[in-house]
Amino acid sequence: MSTQTTKSSLTALTVAAIGIVYGDIGTSPLYTMKEVFSKEHGLPLNHANIFGIVSLILWGLIFIVSLKYVTLVLRAANRGEGGIMALTALALESVSKNSRLYFPLTVLGLMGASLFYGDGVITPAMTVLSAIEGIEVATPTLKEFVVPITLIILIGLYAVQRKGTAGIGKLFGPITILWFVVLAGMGTYNIAREPSILMAFNPWYALQFLLENRWVAFFALGAVVLAFTGSEALYADMGHFGAKPIRMAWFLVVFPALGLNYLGQGALLMLNPTAVTNPFYNQLGAWSIYPLVILSTMAAVIASQSTISGTFSMTKQAISLGFLPRMKIIHTSSMEIGQIYIPMANWLQLIVVAGAVIGFGSSTHLASAYGIANTGTMLVTSLLTFFVIRYGWKYNLLLCIAATGFFLIIDISLFSANALKFFHGGWFPIALGLVIFTVMLTWKRGRELVFGNLKKHAIPLEEFLESLFVSAPIRVAGTAVFLRGEADGVPHALLHNLSHNKILHERVIFLTLHNREVPWVPFSERIKVTDLGNACYQIDVYYGFKNEPDIPNALALCEPYGLSFEPMETSYFISRQTIVSTPGSGMARWREGLFVTMSRNARDAADYYQIPSNRVIEVGAQVEI
């Protein structure tokens, strides 16, 4: 019975992984072959080039996805979690904070995360545009309706995010499986018409194509990489499904379907060169276009949903790790903690996605922007993986260089090929990434300056309490909880309360929250209680970047230490910091201004930590940076 249950769970996870993890890479056949042979690449459509391109795509799927991500990177689990932020935390954990590598690795991780955000903007625009463009293949006069229909679908998709995906999420797996079955079926049909395309499995055709075409081939790599977009999702979603279901989904369903379809499109182009305008929608003939548009649109929406959910997850992790200010986070499922909705991230992303759809106008124009964001993130992943396996896992240096160096050569080649398109759309994700990178680095640096200022003026807590109880103030019934930072001494809220009210509660709790660079901190390690004497206690609460901060629940864990908390007799004192920018050795004035603006608009601490609003007393404090 136990074995049957395990098999059933593995099957369910594998089906779910097909729907959520592989939505992005699964829609790549919509546009890859069309972009490779587009006029701007100058690649002649002949049998030798068709064999070369299909061979490059097949072996790229084998090397980049099967070997790099499915085999190697999925092993770099941060307590079961994956993704660029989890990998960054793992890399930082492998070196000490005093190491010269710590800051460069932080910057590298932020660059990867910033490019991931850029990818998250382009994916919905690219996939939905590509799907809707099928109607112009069937009826060219409908071309002017492609952008408006795309915008309507995207606005509807972002509008329903607040309701969560628990309901429609159950359909993702079956619909995506149907999508991959159709991909495989269409590919098999065209392969049967031109079986010679199977020779593309010979890697010599890929090598020959690169050697004979050289510069043109290098430029074409910028379009070939579109076949591998979405590979980061394999790693990012590991925490939801585990490595085994993701691997099974890839090798049993996704890779065979993608391989067959790319082979089939190659066979089609050999038989009918005029189909190059849109090889995907021409695979079965005119009768199939509208059904394919409907199925493609559903697949594109699923791929976009995966990216949107990934953006929410990434944002939450960045907030927990101190790279972004607190934002409102809404849980859309009472059963699954990973299903969240962040209104600010949702609407900001929609605005940028809509701008990309209107500004670029077609999937062809967006293709240049798509590749550079994806290959940049892939490159950062390879670099971070080296530090994890070398310094974290202590593998032999030569083995580490061999394991990651091979993939680095591929990543650098693909990124360089896409960098050539900088002025043809590639600037967009780079500019977007730079904005996000600046915001994240500014917030991180600003918080360091604030903590430094507080530490410089901090009054040591133990010494203060010792002097305070020499002539103890009047004590009143109830429990007072004072939030204090890791670098703080005596909380400002306590000083103000003593100064103005001249009283102290009968039990005083100093609460410090610690964010660890791990995904989860188990309940057994969540709480540390220190008795400071005179009914005063220091409680340290530890959270991972995927844990949900909840102070009342954390205090409930203190019962084994002899501390119980009655909600209506517990008051929470929080210092509201007003950040003031001053000339000095902090940051540039414009960065300090940006930090002050973000700080003033950050989510209220009491709300973020789920403290009952009717039990909160806020006390102002001014901090200069």
Distance CA 258, CA 266 (A): 12
pLDDT value of position 370: 79
Q: Residue 618: how many CB atoms within 10 A of its CB?
A: 14
Which residue, 387, 410, 425, sits at the end of a domain? 425
Please check the confidence at residue 457 and state whether its pLDDT lies above 60.
yes
Same domain, 400 and 517: no
Total number of domains in the chain:
2
- 503: DSSP letter: E
Same domain, 612 and 548: yes
Residues 182-186 have a mean pLDDT of: 96
Query: Are 544 and 521 contacting, i.e. CB atoms less than 8 angstroms apart?
Result: yes
Q: Residue 171: how many CB atoms within 10 A of its CB?
A: 13
Distance CA 512, CA 39 (A): 61
- 334: DSSP letter: S
Same domain, 121 and 60: yes
The counts of H helices and E strands in the chain are 25, 8
- Please indicate, yes or no, if residue 586 is contained in any of the structural domains: yes
Please check the confidence at residue 208 and state whether its pLDDT lies above 60.
yes
Q: Which of 16, 539, 617 is nearest to 302 (CA)?
A: 16
Q: pLDDT, tens digit, for every residue of 473-523? A: 889 999 999 988 776 788 888 888 888 888 899 999 999 998 887 778 888
Please check the confidence at residue 1 and state whether its pLDDT lies above 50.
no
Which residue, 386, 410, 425, sits at the end of a domain? 425
Any idea how long the chain is?
625
Distance CA 303, CA 231 (A): 12
Distance CA 453, CA 584 (A): 13
Confidence class for position 383, pLDDT limits 50, 70, 90:
very high
- Tell me if residue 421 falls in helix, strand or coil: coil
Same domain, 406 and 479: no
- Whichever domain contains 66, its CATH number is 1.20.1740.10
Q: What is the mean pLDDT of the chain?
A: 86
- Give residue 43's region: left, alpha or beta (phi > 0; psi -120 to 50): beta
- Please indicate, yes or no, if residue 345 is contained in any of the structural domains: yes
- Please indicate, yes or no, if residue 440 is contained in any of the structural domains: no
Confidence class for position 436, pLDDT limits 50, 70, 90:
very high
pLDDT value of position 336: 53
- Please indicate, yes or no, if residue 4 is contained in any of the structural domains: no
User: The whole model's pTM is what?
Assistant: 0.82
Distance CA 150, CA 131 (A): 9
Please check the confidence at residue 132 and state whether its pLDDT lies above 80.
yes
Distance CA 400, CA 407 (A): 11
Residues 407-429 have a mean pLDDT of: 87
- Please indicate, yes or no, if residue 443 is contained in any of the structural domains: no
- Please indicate, yes or no, if residue 438 is contained in any of the structural domains: no
Q: Which of 515, 100, 131, 88 is nearest to 290 (CA)?
A: 131
Alpha carbon distances (Å) from 625 to 275, 485, 590, 622:
62, 17, 13, 10
Residues 563-592 have a mean pLDDT of: 83
- Give residue 371's region: left, alpha or beta (phi > 0; psi -120 to 50): alpha
Token pair of 313 as six digits: 């997850």
Residues 215-242 have a mean pLDDT of: 82
Q: Which of 33, 73, 620 is nearest to 386 (CA)?
A: 73
Q: pLDDT, tens digit, for every residue of 35-74? A: 899 887 778 899 999 999 999 999 999 999 999 998 888 8
Distance CA 212, CA 361 (A): 34
Alpha carbon distances (Å) from 286 to 137, 148, 289, 354, 596:
9, 24, 6, 30, 58
Residues 246-271 have a mean pLDDT of: 95
Same domain, 477 and 331: no
Same domain, 532 and 415: no
Please check the confidence at residue 582 and state whether its pLDDT lies above 80.
no
Confidence class for position 555, pLDDT limits 50, 70, 90:
very high
Place of tokens 């459509």: 45
Same domain, 403 and 471: no
Alpha carbon distances (Å) from 375 to 64, 189, 368, 380, 421:
11, 32, 11, 9, 13
pLDDT value of position 354: 94
Residues 240-267 have a mean pLDDT of: 92
Same domain, 461 and 608: yes
Please check the confidence at residue 2 and state whether its pLDDT lies above 70.
no
Give the rounded percent of residues in the chain with a pLDDT score beyond 70. 96
Place of tokens 């996605």: 353
Alpha carbon distances (Å) from 490 to 27, 127, 223, 485, 509:
56, 54, 58, 10, 12
- Please indicate, yes or no, if residue 138 is contained in any of the structural domains: yes
Residues 300-309 have a mean pLDDT of: 84
- Please indicate, yes or no, if residue 319 is contained in any of the structural domains: yes
Alpha carbon distances (Å) from 75 to 438, 522, 558:
31, 22, 36
Place of tokens 């979603």: 237
Same domain, 102 and 187: yes
Same domain, 410 and 482: no
Confidence class for position 3, pLDDT limits 50, 70, 90:
very low
pLDDT value of position 8: 56
Q: pLDDT, tens digit, for every residue of 74-123? A: 887 777 777 888 888 888 888 878 888 888 999 998 998 898 888 888 88
Query: Are 571 and 617 contacting, i.e. CB atoms less than 8 angstroms apart?
Result: yes
Residue 27 lies in domain = 10-425
Same domain, 362 and 226: yes
Same domain, 409 and 509: no
Q: What are phi and psi of 420, to 5 degrees?
A: -65, -20
Q: Provide the β-strand partners of residue 528.
A: 540
Residues 140-169 have a mean pLDDT of: 83
Please check the confidence at residue 4 and state whether its pLDDT lies above 70.
no
Query: Are 302 and 289 contacting, i.e. CB atoms less than 8 angstroms apart?
Result: no
